[in-house]
Chain A
């Protein structure tokens, strides 16, 4: 069973024991042992249906497969890394923030609602589901925010990384006649989450 550990805050160690993981193309910085790297199929390894969806939606995901015996060190542009463990649940994540995931996890594309159009991230998002661990990237230390029915959360779409749990996502605009005059607060679009779950954000805006 592949195992993920963190080496510092910016490097992920993937311990392979004869099995494989999927990781972001080009994210290997070093490895020990006998490890082979192979590019995933056109859909990022999510199967044919997922591949077609990715082609159609433009939610690209460039992954490679690392397999063998040894330790692979993964990092991307010196950004921080967080390991998220999924227990038969679904994580919705920006495809650009996905670093590595275990074989037991599946990826797919889902409609993200209107938020994408505003933030320039496309109308679709990547979902990761199943049982296992995945590593996500965050520009600066990642912040996990708890959402409960009594406390809905509003975040900046540019800082949003991922969310999990039973959450309903909606889109808040603060556009008014002031925006037209350039007198608004500079935060015309926001994402609102209702329900119960966790929202992950980064302390930087894309």
Chain B
């Protein structure tokens, strides 16, 4: 089943007859039909941190705590009803990713919208160990990443659009931390530092710190080094 329809490079159309959609607050451009919006996740007690309407409870509180701790906090809103909603954010390019049960790792501030039936959680540095923490610190992406899994569609934001690089066969792909957008599949992301004496004296190539992506899946990279 097709997910969101791209109106152009920067706007997606979500058909709510497929189910409710969670989107970044303020990303709604316009809608047609009978649509209601309400806050979701984050600061609302009993909200939809897990993504499932009405599935608040413990998970929601844990998610809230995780978000608050990690600084990985982008307010989301849920759209439900019958109709079509158009989403876009600050003129950023949008990439639609279809999930068929795999895991998608994406920074919260790059998330435009996703189907509400997908599970989303914040992974704090503990699970990734020290290296994950280092990655957050050097790439300026905070100490946490959002993980989305299930069956459905996700729309992510980038500057200038993304290109997908397949990862597999034991090979490692290096990605500039500023250009990294998202990783789909069973992928491990490590920080690789190839620091030498040149970097120490300020004559580095500017590519000393890279994300090393390994495993099986797809990594999405944007054609720019600009953060959103």
Contacts of A28 on B, CB cut-off 8 Å?
Answer: 174, 176, 207
Known: A78-B160, A78-B161. A29 touches B206 (CB 8 A): no
Known: A32-B171, A36-B194. A8 touches B163 (CB 8 A): yes
Determine which of A8, A25, A30, A36 lies in contact with B179 in the assembled complex, contact meaning CB atoms within 8 Å.
A30
Q: How large is the interface on B (under 10, 10 to 19, 20 to 34, 35 or more residues)?
A: 20 to 34
Q: List residues of A (22-48) whose CB comes within 8 Å of B's CBs.
A: 25-26, 28-33, 35-39
Pair A73/B221 contact, Cβ less than 8 Å: yes
Contacts of A29 on B, CB cut-off 8 Å?
Answer: 175-176, 179, 221-225
Pair A33/B161 contact, Cβ less than 8 Å: no
Pair A75/B205 contact, Cβ less than 8 Å: no
Determine which of B163, B175, B203, B224 lies in contact with A76 in the assembled complex, contact meaning CB atoms within 8 Å.
B224
Does B165 have its Cβ within 8 Å of any Cβ on chain A? Answer: yes
Pair A78/B224 contact, Cβ less than 8 Å: yes
Does A77 have its Cβ within 8 Å of any Cβ on chain B? Answer: yes
Does A10 have its Cβ within 8 Å of any Cβ on chain B? Answer: yes
Cβ-closest chain A residue relative to B172: A32
Pair A10/B223 contact, Cβ less than 8 Å: yes
Cα distance A25–B219 in the bound complex, in angstroms: 23
Does B27 have its Cβ within 8 Å of any Cβ on chain A? Answer: no
Cα distance A76–B179 in the bound complex, in angstroms: 10
Pair A38/B222 contact, Cβ less than 8 Å: no
Cα distance A35–B161 in the bound complex, in angstroms: 25
Q: How large is the interface on A (under 10, 10 to 19, 20 to 34, 35 or more residues)?
A: 20 to 34
Shortest CB–CB separation between residue A98 and chain B, in angstroms? 15
Q: List residues of B (13-64) whose CB comes within 8 Å of A's CBs.
A: none
A-B interface, 4 closest residue pairs, ranked by CB to CB distance from nearest: A78-B160, A75-B223, A10-B223, A29-B179
**Number of A-B pairs whose CB atoms are under 8 Å?**
82
Q: List residues of B (179-206) whose CB comes within 8 Å of A's CBs.
A: 179, 194, 198, 203-206
Main SS class of interface, B: loop
Sample of 9 more A-B contacts, CB < 8 Å, known A31-B174, A73-B165: A11-B163, A26-B225, A31-B173, A32-B165, A32-B171, A32-B174, A39-B204, A64-B205, A77-B224
Does B90 have its Cβ within 8 Å of any Cβ on chain A? Answer: no
Cα distance A32–B225 in the bound complex, in angstroms: 18
Pair B222/A35 contact, Cβ less than 8 Å: no
Does A7 have its Cβ within 8 Å of any Cβ on chain B? Answer: yes
Does B10 have its Cβ within 8 Å of any Cβ on chain A? Answer: no
Cβ-closest chain B residue relative to A35: B174
User: What are some 24 contacts across the A-B interface (CB < 8 A)?
Assistant: A11-B163, A11-B223, A25-B206, A26-B207, A29-B176, A29-B179, A29-B222, A29-B223, A30-B179, A31-B174, A32-B173, A36-B194, A37-B194, A37-B205, A37-B206, A39-B203, A64-B206, A64-B207, A75-B179, A76-B224, A77-B159, A77-B224, A78-B224, A78-B226
Cβ-closest chain B residue relative to A73: B221
Cα distance A37–B205 in the bound complex, in angstroms: 6
Contacts of A79 on B, CB cut-off 8 Å?
Answer: 160
Cβ-closest chain A residue relative to B176: A29
Contact with A along B150-178 (1 / 0, CB 8 A): 00000000011101010000010111100
Pair A78/B223 contact, Cβ less than 8 Å: yes
Pair B163/A7 contact, Cβ less than 8 Å: yes
Contacts of A78 on B, CB cut-off 8 Å?
Answer: 159-161, 222-224, 226
Shortest CB–CB separation between residue B167 and chain A, in angstroms? 9
Contact with B along A95-114 (1 / 0, CB 8 A): 00000000000000000000
Cα distance A59–B218 in the bound complex, in angstroms: 40
Cβ-closest chain B residue relative to A75: B223
Cβ-closest chain A residue relative to B160: A78
Shortest CB–CB separation between residue A25 and chain B, in angstroms? 5
Contacts of A7 on B, CB cut-off 8 Å?
Answer: 163
Pair B223/A26 contact, Cβ less than 8 Å: no
Pair B161/A30 contact, Cβ less than 8 Å: no
Contacts of A35 on B, CB cut-off 8 Å?
Answer: 174
Contact with A along B108-119 (1 / 0, CB 8 A): 000000000000
Known: A29-B221, A30-B219, A32-B171. A38 touches B226 (CB 8 A): no
